[in-house]
Structures are given as C-alpha cells and as structure tokens.
Amino acid sequence: EPEVTQTPSHQVTQMGQEVILRCVPISNHLYFYWYRQILGQKVEFLVSFYNNEISEKSEIFDDQFSVERPDGSNFTLKIRSTKLEDSAMYFCASNQGAGELFFGEGSRLTVL
Amino acid sequence: AQSVAQPEDQVNVAEGNPLTVKCTYSVSGNPYLFWYVQYPNRGLQFLLKYITGDNLVKGSYGFEAEFNKSQTSFHLKKPSALVSDSALYFCAVRPNSGNTPLVFGKGTRLSVIA
C-alpha cells in the first residue's frame, strides 16, 4: 500500500540553525500539507501546497518557514532560523483533493 | 472558520464495553468529517469519514460514527472495546467545497482497561 514517507525521523538542532524536513507524498496525489503537533497535543495546520504553489497557510507559517517541491517527488519544509518553540512533531500529508489526508510517520524536531 | 470540539481529554472504558468518543463541529455549509487515531510515537491513521449519504459510517477496526446534522456532532463509537484500541483519537472537519485544510480537534485519549 502506498504511503507518505518522511525523513529524518528525529532531528536535534541548535537554536538559530536552519532545518529542512523532507517528505515523499503518495505518487498520484496532488495536494500536499504540513501539520505540526507539540507534545502529543493538538494537530495544527501549517501550509497546503498545490500546483507548485502555496494554496493556504496558517498564522504559524511565518517568514521563517518555506516549502518547496524541488524535483516532482520530494516536498520539503524549511525552517530558516529555528526557535525553541519550533520543537514539535512535524507531519507531512497528501491527498488527491477531497477526502481523507494520508499522513507520514512524522519528523520530531528538537531545538536546543 | 471551521472548528472542532472534543469535550473529553480522556475516556476510560473497560474491555468489552461499548465506547464513545465525542466530537462536535462548526463549519460553513455542509461538512466533511473525519476520525483519525494516533498510537504512541506514530503518525495519524485514518479511521473513517463522512462525506455524504448514510449518517452512520463504518470504518476500520470495528469503529463507526454517526453524523447528526441537527446536533452538529460526529461521535465515534465501537460496540466492544479492546485494550489495543487505547490511543489518541482526533476528530477533524472541513467544508465540502474547495480544498480548505482539515481542522483537528485537540484529541481524546482513550484508555481501555482489561
């Protein structure tokens, strides 16, 4: 069964460093998303991406964040200068449009 | 803007007993409603959805949910709980037009006791 894959599973970084989280969505999906979850709490929407551009973003997704689909396969989330409060589980998801999202296993980011 | 309320942080139930995890929603227009489950240190796993049609929706692992438009609710149910059902459950909603992102509730931790 096709699945969304995410790397790395865990990244530890120093405050102020840049981080790139990578995702490979399901191959025939058209919409891509990043969500984050802090300490097993609420799952918060960050950004959605369709047709090589951002379609929606939340207030969390400020200028420190960016997304890219560099090669038609990977979908990346970059945090330019990490802050302590960026520590969270980041989930990538994809779907074909309407209907359920398919989530990856997540990338745990720890900012020290 | 859409929102989801899961009024219970924790639900405890004995194995073999029926379980209910509550969810109410607010959305403009008609909703698409979803339940997801999250096991420790794992991603969100899709359980079931309501898009249109029959108000009673059946999903994975014996779970079902009933869409109640008048009460704006979509409670998750299972007739007989298993210890392995212990996990974090999330309700989510989006309007049925456009591709507005899913909005999740805060989650309900289900604990099934043997």
Does residue A110 belong to the interface with chain B, where contact is any CB pair within 8 Å?
Answer: no
What was the pLDDT predicted at A2? 77
What was the pLDDT predicted at B100? 81
Give the span between the Cα atoms of B100 and B89, in whole angstroms: 21
Distances (CA, A) of B52 to A65, B35, B58, B99, B108: 36, 15, 13, 16, 25
What was the pLDDT predicted at A90? 97
Inter-chain residue contact B104 with A42, CB threshold 8 Å: yes
pLDDT-derived band at A98 (thresholds 50, 70, 90) equals confident
Kindly state the DSSP code that residue A60 receives in the 8-state scheme. T
- Residues B63-108: tens digit of each pLDDT: 999 999 999 999 999 999 999 999 999 999 988 777 688 999 999 9
Tell me the sheet residues that pair with B79.
none
Region B18-38 average pLDDT: 94
Q: Are strands B3-5 and B24-26 parallel, antiparallel or unpaired?
A: antiparallel
From the list A79, A84, A111, A94, the residue with the least C-alpha distance to A23 is A94
Dihedral, CA of residue A101, residue A80, residue A70 and residue A68, to nearest 10: 40
From the list A36, A8, A32, the residue with the least C-alpha distance to A20 is A8
From the list B5, B23, B29, B39, the residue with the least C-alpha distance to B73 is B23
Please give the structure tokens belonging to residue A6: 């995410």
Region B19-36 average pLDDT: 94
Query: Which chain B residues in 33-92 lie under 8 Å from chain A, judged by CB atoms?
Result: 34, 36, 42-46, 49, 51, 88, 90
CA distance B58 to chain A (A): 15
Inter-chain residue contact B46 with A106, CB threshold 8 Å: no
pLDDT-derived band at B1 (thresholds 50, 70, 90) equals confident
Give the span between the Cα atoms of B108 and B79, in whole angstroms: 18
Region B1-13 average pLDDT: 94
Task: Write the residue in A4, A43, A56 that is nearest to B90 by C-beta.
Answer: A43
- Which residues in chain B touch residue A93, judged by CB atoms under 8 angstroms apart? 44
